[in-house]
Structure 1
């Protein structure tokens, strides 16, 4: 019996007590089931009696005794105790606890998936680096966390579209084109331009693609370097992200907002809402009405639209595509962006608390030999995604970046994450999966297949370490659901590390395969199912993080 199943059992107990007239309350939509810190207090605990006591008009312990009486008659429950002010401690029958292993193996890849976010259509925008240079370490963190979050939300029932917004219009693209043009002519890069070896590389590719480009008039040269340079740079961005295991459903071009009239449409919509005014020859949005610290310009006095106007048009486009909520992941330097974006959402007639979610992530520092690593030869000033992958590998990079809460700054030790030892968290988890895979191969060589689920004596899993492992496996669906709702992929990583440790302790205490001439017993079969279930959860959890689960290491 998993925590989710026990939650339903407790709800049914409340309903039965209400129906019999011994309890007068509304049956709760959800019952929280937790694992006691002390295993001697049972397999699971719930505070449902404390939650219902006020509505029932009775002391919590009295409500708990009523529910305990109902639960003691449930098949699969061996004991129910009332503790403290009114907690219910539930001990499952051994076969009921052991059935978790069978359920996990039977569910396979589906184990851990829930429907807690079913019906939600979410647009998840992350990375969205300007196509003026390779993906740097900050964007790499968002690539790892954003992709993991997309997988989490999908596993929890949401319909998720991963989207990359590339700013291929505006002043930064002009500076990029001028930087390429200067490199092609062998001139110094403009003072406000982009530096790094990649500028020369892209410039050379433009010239190779159009050999006569440097003979065109200057304005035409700049335009060709702009168009081809952006295409080449963005193709490289997409390639490096794909090599990192991150592929987007939609790559949205800012330029299309200018070309399709979407900007004018958004300004007109805001004007209809009554929040647009003109001053100093410019068109403004009165965002202070909605809590912003100052009003924002939509169209400058020279007739040029602003980035903020593009933000308005882009948000409107997402909503018109049918998304219930727009989720945007931004770096720490964009914290001031939140107020104005909430204001534009409100000005368009939406509720920022319902239709918008902005996640802010902190910086990443790379450390090697105890010293900060600050520079990439190719980029000139920053560390790139490809530098990190070259140093530790894609799996370790993804795991390391997703393992910490996004609101925490990371000091990522390249020496640690490149080691093939148990102090490297991703190695520790992957090794647990490889260890189980090796054991299951050994069982097959001995002619000990898992067999049919109905033939497993789950009551044979009576050792304390087996119970610890079964309860840990039962937690996985709730970990996934909680991590999705809290937008916290790091909770999955920490759970996997705890699970790996729990498995290693089980393995050290409970011999799985027979030795020498020993015969296999029902305990052997049950433990093989427990090992297979653990491998399934490790594999599913690593998949959520976009990390492989090797069978050999």
Structure 2
């Protein structure tokens, strides 16, 4: 990719961010890309985030992170790092280093369950060096939501503490795993109140995983449904079951592939049917870092929960074509499909971890 082509690519990323409502700016006629300055990295760098920060009314680091999520969807780009006050550093995919699918899948598998989280001093984040104190009202849903918001913010580089405005029952921590970090009262101007619509019933009988999911899946302004049906039923109508089942299936495929004598290797999945399903998955995996940043910014765990359901619904049909059938020998395409399935399972596991929910390998 030439600098001129890369300039157009960055400009298209700005356009997509504007069209999606993430940025409210006039799309520049031209974006300048140059070799990175001292302290930068990659093949090229752009200061477009700094230029757009003032008209967008957002910090340059936040603008850079928004653009990063869109740029990573381009098959010619291997990686994006944000350095300094908001410089975007672009690493291009080398010829022969693999397909777009291979590059992205390799990035997910190397990142593991932490894929999508900000790495200090490399990715940059508007939350780095930020101190946030969450103060949930003394209500079970508020305490659980605050717990997950704290996890999301920490994954974006923020320092977070929480303290409930009352004495939270010990069972909320013992059963649901939601505890406040401290009990000190911060200055009134420094804390963020967490006050979602209260739970209409006690979620403790659902247990940790189903109880947390019931409180987290609806948006904060929506009334959660706290009952055994649908949250404890093991069938497709239960979104949590689909997410955990999809994760367990990806792990089972890895075990079955090992029995057949082959393992995952990122690359081209091959075949028209496989390519169609892979494209959907690749888009969702590439979008995962942006989803995590968005959920942290909005203090909205439901954004991540709904994303995990979408990933699960995309990966389950794809899994049917991963392993060889009958006398078919494992091929490069099978290894690449297995790698993509494992990457999807990794994203599901990492997302469930941030929600405080178990991701079992067997279900």
TM-score by length of 1: 0.48
> 1:94–1:459: 8 Å Cα contact kept in structure 2?
no
- Give 2:328's match in structure 1, choosing from 510, 513, 518: 518
- Give 2:240's match in structure 1, choosing from 421, 426, 444: 426
Question: 1:122 maps to which residue?
Answer: 132
Offset of residue 75 of structure 1: 5.6
Question: 1:15 maps to which residue?
Answer: 32
Question: 1:248 maps to which residue?
Answer: 180
- Give 1:99's match in structure 2, choosing from 98, 103, 110: 103
> 2:144–2:215: 8 Å Cα contact kept in structure 1?
yes
Q: Secondary structure at the match of 1:164?
A: coil
Q: Which runs of 5+ in 1 are unaligned?
A: 1-5, 18-24, 37-42, 45-73, 79-92, 130-138, 168-233, 253-313, 320-324, 330-359, 367-383
Offset of residue 99 of structure 1: 1.3
Give the distance between the partners of 1:464 and 1:470, measured in 2 at CA: 10
Offset of residue 437 of structure 1: 1.1
Pick the structure with more strand per residue: 1
Question: 2:153 maps to which residue?
Answer: 153
* Inter-CA distance 407–8: structure 2 relative to 1 (3 Å threshold): farther
Mapping of residues 252-263 of structure 1, within 5 Å: 252=184
Q: Is residue 540 of structure 1 aligned with residue 354 of structure 2?
A: no
Give the distance between the partners of 1:415 and 1:118, measured in 2 at CA: 40
**Cα RMSD (Å) of the superposition?**
3.5
Offset of residue 95 of structure 1: 0.9
- Give 2:301's match in structure 1, choosing from 485, 489, 492: 489
Question: 1:405 maps to which residue?
Answer: 219
> 2:235–2:241: 8 Å Cα contact kept in structure 1?
yes
Question: 1:549 maps to which residue?
Answer: 359
Give the distance between the partners of 1:515 and 1:460, measured in 2 at CA: 15
Question: 2:41 maps to which residue?
Answer: none
* Inter-CA distance 459–427: structure 2 relative to 1 (3 Å threshold): closer
TM-score by length of 2: 0.71
Q: Secondary structure at the match of 1:364?
A: coil
Give the distance between the partners of 1:481 and 1:538, measured in 2 at CA: 16
Offset of residue 488 of structure 1: 0.8
Question: 2:210 maps to which residue?
Answer: 396
Give the distance between the partners of 2:128 and 2:9, measured in 1 at CA: 23
> 2:236–2:242: 8 Å Cα contact kept in structure 1?
yes
Offset of residue 142 of structure 1: 1.3
Q: Secondary structure at the match of 1:14?
A: coil
Offset of residue 405 of structure 1: 1.3
> 1:514–1:524: 8 Å Cα contact kept in structure 2?
yes
Give the distance between the partners of 1:402 and 1:7, measured in 2 at CA: 40
Number of residue pairs matched by the alignment: 293
Question: 2:114 maps to which residue?
Answer: 110
Mapping of residues 197-236 of structure 1, within 5 Å: none
- Give 1:463's match in structure 2, choosing from 272, 275, 279: 275
Offset of residue 27 of structure 1: 4.8
Give the distance between the partners of 1:106 and 1:35, measured in 2 at CA: 18
Offset of residue 506 of structure 1: 1.9
Deviation string, structure 1 residues 56-100 (Cα, Å, up to 9, x no partner): xxxxxxxxxxxxxxxxxx96599xxxxxxxxxxxxxx98124311
Question: 1:449 maps to which residue?
Answer: 263
Deviation string, structure 1 residues 310-336 (Cα, Å, up to 9, x no partner): xxxx343x88xxxxx31122xxxxxxx
Give the distance between the partners of 1:122 and 1:35, measured in 2 at CA: 24
Q: Secondary structure at the match of 2:99?
A: helix
Offset of residue 514 of structure 1: 1.4
* Inter-CA distance 33–501: structure 2 relative to 1 (3 Å threshold): farther
* Inter-CA distance 238–7: structure 2 relative to 1 (3 Å threshold): farther
